[in-house]
Amino acid sequence: MPELPEVETVVRGLRGPLLERTFLDVEVRWARSVVTGAEALRRGLPGRRVEAIDRRGKYLVFRLDDPRTLLIHLKMSGNLLVEPDHAPRDPYMHTVFQLDNGHQLRLRDPRKFGRVYLTTAPDTVLGRLGPEPLADDFSVADFLALCRGRRGVLKALLLNQEFLAGLGNIYASEACFLAGLDPRRPISGLRDEEVARLYHAIRRTLGHGIVHKGSSLDSVYRGGEFQNHFQVYGRESEACFTCGANIERVMLGGRSTCFCPRCQR
Ligand SMILES: [Zn+2]
């Protein structure tokens, strides 16, 4: 599942081919993917120009020359490709946006969980998200304030998008390792110094992910190579690169979590 660094990589890759382009048409083959209605998208998008492309959490945010905003969430297996009209399509390209330059923006999504919104009120979708962990004005003090009074297990809380936006299983697991914190600990039991360590670990891990253009896993290849830098994610029973102990795997909040029992306390 693409997380903040993967989505950021997609956003950066789309700016060149899409900024200032105008949508001519939209083809929707899997209507359920358009939360705000496939017909409304088909009617509302043609003629609109892309003025900015940003990211909020794991959402791609397309600002248009119109009060409406186009939002796309890639969910489990989505990817966005810009290809010439005549380039062959595979059966997984469920939503295809025709551009004004002989190219198409193609949402390729084998598992069909990706979601598209065209809305005048993007905050009804984005407003529930927690802070952006990489924002310049997101400080250690902000993170401390966010953690205080919260309940639950550290790793599960990091996956909660309403707590903090953008982390998924990979970067939450890797951040816990970098912070030297056992992902099973209750958040309420962390000392201030440990919360500060976690803050820096989250920002460093996400930053590394972006530098490496995200992780390429499963069949969704994005050209990233952060998977070659994983310390714990997907490394069950392998030796910790730092201490040599066997990496362990537990289930937390229904998600598989790998950690080093010696480095993470
Ligand atoms: Zn270790």
Q: How far is CA 158 from CA 4, 49, 79, 136, 187, in A?
A: 13, 36, 24, 19, 10
CATH fold of 4-126, please?
N-terminal domain of MutM-like DNA repair proteins (3.20.190)
What is 140-259's CATH number?
Answer: 1.10.8.50
- Judge whether residue 221 has pLDDT over 70: no
Whether 193 is a known active-site residue: answer no
Find the catalytic residue in 21, 58, 68, 197: 58
Q: Could you report the per-residue pLDDT of 165-181, keeping only the tens digit for each?
A: 999 999 999 999 999 99
Question: Region 142-161: what's the mean pLDDT?
Answer: 96
| pLDDT tens track for 55-79 | 999 999 999 999 999 999 999 889 9
Interval between CA 232 and ligand 1 midpoint (Å): 9
Instruction: Using pLDDT thresholds of 50, 70 and 90, give the confidence band for residue 253.
Output: confident
Q: Is 75 an active-site residue?
A: no
Q: Which pLDDT score, from 0 to 100, does residue 220 have?
A: 63
Parallel, antiparallel, or unpaired: how do β-strands 50-56 and 103-108 relate?
unpaired
Place 223 in a pLDDT band, splitting at 50, 70 and 90: confident
> What does pLDDT average to over the chain?
96
pTM above 0.85, yes or no: yes
What are the start and end residues of each CATH 3.20.190.10 domain in the chain?
4-126
Would residue 255 show up in a list of annotated catalytic residues for this protein?
Answer: yes
Q: Report pLDDT for 219.
A: 59
Q: Which residues surround ligand 1, an ion (CB under 5 A)?
A: 240, 242-243, 245, 260, 262-263
What pLDDT digit, counting tens, does each position of 178-198 carry? Answer: 999 999 999 999 999 999 999
Please determine, for residue 9, whether its predicted confidence score (pLDDT) is greater than 90. yes
User: Does 58 participate in catalysis according to the annotation?
Assistant: yes
pLDDT at 218: 66
Handedness of CA 163, 10, 104, 74 (dihedral sign): negative
Share of the chain above pLDDT 70, in %: 98
User: 217 pLDDT band (50/70/90 cuts)?
Assistant: confident
Residues of the chain with CATH 1.10.8.50: 140-259
